[in-house]
């Protein structure tokens, strides 16, 4: 089969495709895999009970059910949900939004595909622009989302040691340069894969740079505020006309509903709706209609803060304690300070094998994680060994299985050190 350049690009070995393929094969396999690779959220009982009841109510309401399954929504998304979102954000934060400031997408992944290619690539006047990541590592799903080559540029972070076997990445503002080739700046907060939460001060400095150079600052809030609030540290929700804030219902408990939310200036929203119409005809209504009453009442914020966040915080603490028990001081290892999301980012300085080989050894033992080398989009291939010494480990699933998987990881790391590779 002969493929176009587009076809070749999107069928080659992308990190996100490899990750999702692993998950699909594991689910279809007879082998009892320990699933610590993907970002599938845990099943929070109280949230699932609410959603189940809401689904029952929709099924019993003839008009609502007809809308749910039998009506195309506009390319911008389900109107009542969008209006309720605008009211919620204005009531809670005073953002001054109208429905024209919000669009829905079929998941955050499609939102970033559209946004990245709207603001970067070939501008048709001989110029080419890039998406700037002020901090690497960043989300694996960004890496192959560009239609043009070399769409991304990233900056290596500075590192501080924040505790026993703990470190934290910081934006190196001295190395960060916004150039005429920058089409937009993009950060995730909390950061996938590391659980890093950029401070309010770091966000203010990034916003100032975006204003100075008249480029948008895209903020991936899929794990952040105001929902699902997977934050274990203080952070302020923020939006203004220079920001494009991307949210999601996935980590609130609806990953299968594929509901992404983009908050931006109306001209950006209009452009997204146009692309939506071409790519998808319309966005799905399922997630929007299921959650709209929780948005209208504001309960989605309360539930995120008081139910969803503690669920993940407890699992995070248990996972961290397990690694300390399993590894102790028997080798050099560090966890990125877990400030949010649902991952541990584990760094093994001086590991005799690289993270991809460690991933393969763990996979052979039935433990699925993600090799850290996938998470550095836009950073030049160089001799920075650090990018090959890290793993992303998900702790959202059954705590006993996660504990078992972490102990197997410790065994493999210690064995690699003892064997010298």
Q: Please say whether the beta carbons of 192 and 223 come within 8 A.
A: yes
Low-confidence ranges of the chain (pLDDT < 70): 13-30, 421
Tell me: do 362 and 266 sit in the same domain: no
Q: Does 64 map to a domain?
A: no
Of 271, 300, 329, the position where a domain reaches its end is 300
In terms of DSSP H, where are the helices of 29-128? 45-60, 62-70, 79-93, 108-119
- Residue 399 tokens read as 């705590």
Tell me: do 102 and 28 sit in the same domain: no
Of 248, 265, 300, the position where a domain reaches its end is 300
- Residue 289 tokens read as 């209609």
Instruction: Tell me what pLDDT residue 39 has.
Output: 81
Tell me: do 108 and 241 sit in the same domain: yes
Tell me: do 27 and 176 sit in the same domain: no
Instruction: Tell me what pLDDT residue 29 has.
Output: 58
For the entire predicted model, the pTM comes to 0.93
DSSP 8-state assignment for residue 306: I
250/50 Cα distance (integer angstroms) = 15
From residue 402, give the alpha-carbon distance in Å to each of 91, 163, 167, 393. Answer: 39, 23, 22, 9
Tell me: do 145 and 287 sit in the same domain: yes
Tell me: do 192 and 107 sit in the same domain: yes
Instruction: Tell me what pLDDT residue 14 has.
Output: 56
From residue 337, give the alpha-carbon distance in Å to each of 194, 204, 405. Answer: 8, 21, 20
To which H or E segment does residue 331 belong? Answer: none
Number of independent structural domains in the chain: 2
Of 256, 282, 300, the position where a domain reaches its end is 300
Q: Does 172 map to a domain?
A: yes
Q: Does 195 map to a domain?
A: yes
Pairing of the two strands 260-263 and 243-248:
antiparallel
Q: Does 53 map to a domain?
A: no
Instruction: Tell me what pLDDT residue 299 has.
Output: 97
Question: What dihedral angle (degrees, nearest 10) is formed by the CA atoms of 199, 203, 208, 209?
Answer: 110
Q: Does 58 map to a domain?
A: no
Q: Does 265 map to a domain?
A: yes
Tell me: do 331 and 296 sit in the same domain: no
Residue 29 sits in a domain whose CATH number is 3.90.1150.10
CB atoms near residue 298 (< 10 Å) = 15
187/37 Cα distance (integer angstroms) = 22
Tell me: do 202 and 213 sit in the same domain: yes
Instruction: Tell me what pLDDT residue 126 has.
Output: 86
Residue 150 sits in a domain whose CATH number is 3.40.640.10
Instruction: Tell me what pLDDT residue 282 has.
Output: 86
Q: Which residue has the tokens 């609502």?
A: 64
Instruction: Tell me what pLDDT residue 146 has.
Output: 83
Q: Please say whether the beta carbons of 368 and 34 come within 8 A.
A: yes
- Which residue(s) pair with 51 in the sheet? none
Instruction: Tell me what pLDDT residue 32 has.
Output: 81
Pairing of the two strands 182-188 and 243-248:
unpaired
Instruction: Tell me what pLDDT residue 216 has.
Output: 97
Tell me: do 225 and 279 sit in the same domain: yes
Tell me: do 182 and 209 sit in the same domain: yes
Tell me: do 280 and 347 sit in the same domain: no
Tell me: do 311 and 190 sit in the same domain: no
Pairing of the two strands 334-336 and 121-122:
unpaired
Instruction: Tell me what pLDDT residue 413 has.
Output: 97
Q: Does 198 map to a domain?
A: yes
**Strand boundaries in 249-355, DSSP class E:** 260-263, 334-336, 343-347
Structural domain span for residue 144: 72-300
Q: Does 60 map to a domain?
A: no
């Amino acid at each position: 089969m002969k493929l176009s350049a587009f076809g070749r690009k999107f069928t080659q070995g992308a990190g996100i495709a490899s990750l999702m393929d692993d998950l699909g094969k594991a689910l279809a396999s007879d082998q009892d895999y320990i699933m610590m690779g993907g970002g599938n959220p845990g099943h929070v009982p109280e949230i699932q009970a609410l959603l189940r009841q809401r689904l029952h109510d929709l099924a019993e309401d003839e008009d609502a059910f007809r809308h749910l399954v039998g009506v195309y929504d506009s390319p911008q998304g389900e109107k009542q949900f969008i209006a309720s979102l605008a009211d919620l954000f204005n009531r809670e934060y005073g953002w001054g939004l109208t429905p024209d400031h919000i669009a829905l997408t079929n998941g955050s992944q499609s939102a970033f595909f559209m946004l990245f290619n709207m603001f970067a690539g070939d501008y048709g006047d001989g110029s080419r622009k890039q998406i700037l990541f002020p901090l690497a590592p960043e989300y694996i799903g960004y890496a192959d989302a560009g239609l043009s080559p070399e769409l991304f540029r990233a900056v290596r972070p500075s590192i501080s040691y924040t505790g026993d076997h703990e470190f934290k990445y910081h934006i190196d503002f001295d190395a960060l340069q916004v150039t005429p080739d920058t089409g937009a700046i993009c950060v995730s907060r909390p950061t996938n894969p590391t659980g890093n939460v950029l401070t309010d001060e770091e966000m203010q400095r990034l916003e100032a740079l975006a204003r100075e150079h008249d480029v948008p600052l895209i903020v991936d809030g899929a794990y952040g505020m105001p929902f699902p609030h997977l934050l274990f540290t203080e952070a302020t929700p923020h939006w203004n006309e220079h920001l494009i804030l991307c949210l999601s219902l996935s980590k609130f408990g609806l990953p299968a509903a594929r509901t992404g939310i983009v908050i931006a200036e109306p001209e950006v929203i209009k452009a997204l709706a146009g692309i939506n119409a071409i790519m998808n005809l319309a966005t799905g209504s399922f997630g929007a209609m299921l959650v709209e009453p929780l948005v209208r009442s504001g309960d989605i914020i309360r539930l995120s803060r008081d139910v969803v966040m503690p669920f993940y915080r407890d699992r995070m603490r248990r996972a961290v304690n397990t690694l300390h028990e399993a590894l102790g001081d028997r080798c050099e290892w560090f966890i990125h300070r877990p400030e949010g999301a649902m991952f541990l980012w584990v760094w093994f300085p001086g590991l005799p094998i690289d993270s991809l080989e460690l991933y393969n050894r763990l996979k052979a033992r039935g433990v699925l994680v993600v090799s850290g080398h996938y998470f550095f989009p836009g950073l030049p291939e160089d001799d920075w060994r650090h990018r090959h010494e890290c793993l992303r480990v998900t702790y959202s699933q059954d705590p006993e299985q996660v504990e078992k998987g972490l102990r197997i990881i410790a065994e493999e790391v210690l064995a690699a050190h003892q064997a010298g590779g």
